[in-house]
Amino acid sequence: MHGWSRLTLAPLLKRRVFSSTQQDETRTLVSEALKEHRLTWKGGRVDAELNRARFGSLTVCTLRYGAEVHIEPDRLQDFMLVQVPLRGRACIECGSDRVDADPDCAAVIAPNRPLRLHWEAGCEQLLLKIPRGKLEAIGLRAFGEAATGPLDFSPALRLDTPIGAAWCSMVASLIHLLPTLDDGAPRPPAAWLEHLEDTLMLHLLYNQPNSWQARAGLAPALPRRLTLAESYMREHLSAPLTLIDIARHAGASASALTRLFQEHRDTTPMNALRALRLDTARQKLKSNAGASVTEVALGVGFGHLGRFSEYYRERFGELPRETRRVTG
């Protein structure tokens, strides 16, 4: 399971809530255990299973559907959710952000984010549910008045980094301790267990970019090579840039720069460049009614007009000429 062995998960896998091969039963039982949601079955055999345990105020689960599914819950409201694919992939849309989650990339879903999820057939995930009230109490201790405003997270959490690996280790430690919470088992001191629980939440609040952190002025500084690369992109949008060009001007190898973008932007350098070009093109189409689509495309480095239109519609849901028509 790519870093989450059966041995690591064993204490959780012994706490089965249900297993089912029936669509209606699965939706009902998952709704009761987690949250009411709309569930669309896309194909494949239903082979659902939910295992769940509580550690203090936290709830940790493993969930699979077997089949490919599309899930539409309402906003979480009362809790935050971290989804970690154990195997397979999922597309998680948090408001305007999209996370292509896999065993190397989890999703941190803030309570007020609109949410849509698409799990591929065979996807199985570890879910960590954190109550909003507990999170707000920890946030006040960490950030003071900055934590009284709305909480929003950058949703992509890379697990193939030292910070991400440390978070996984903390979750694994909680799972290992589950047998100590059973009736009759030798129980660790309550204060120590609460400390572990709080540390897991503080790790996310301090290390995963979020609105409380930013308001407190504690947002972690971006690596210099990443900011150099992004500055070079913005200054040379119309040039035929390659990954080697960008990496050289950032003082990094192509592979090192790619890792930086994956860790801090959840994308590749060239995809980030394309997004920057498209965003700039949209600004130009909206602000200059006299500009032609061709002029704008060439001005931001797109030499193929058809491909520009295709990328533009994929990002903004409309064609460039439709943006120009609305704003012209």
Model's pTM, two decimal places?
0.72
Domain boundary among 215, 232, 266: 215
Indicate whether 1 belongs to any domain: no
Indicate whether 150 belongs to any domain: yes
Domain boundary among 182, 215, 248: 215
Q: What is the pLDDT of residue 128?
A: 97
Q: What is the pLDDT of residue 1?
A: 43
Beta-strand (E) ranges in 115-171? Answer: 115-119, 124-131, 156-158
How far apart CA 67 and CA 70 sit, in angstroms, is 10
How far apart CA 153 and CA 113 sit, in angstroms, is 9
| pLDDT of 327 above 60 | no
Tokens 């694919």 correspond to: 85
Domain boundary among 186, 215, 244: 215
Mean pLDDT of all residues in the chain? 90
34 phi-psi bin (left φ>0, alpha ψ -120 to 50, beta other): alpha
> Among the listed ranges 93-107, 138-152, 264-278, 282-296, which one has the minimum average pLDDT value?
282-296
Residue 311 sits in a domain of what CATH number?
1.10.10.60
Indicate whether 191 belongs to any domain: yes
175: tokens are 């799972």
Task: List 48's β-bridge partners, or say none.
Answer: 20
Claim to verify: residue 192 and residue 268 sit in the same structural domain: no
Buried b (16+ CB within 10 A) or exposed e, 262-272: bbbbbbebeeb
Give the chain's domain count.
2
Give residue 274's domain range: 224-327
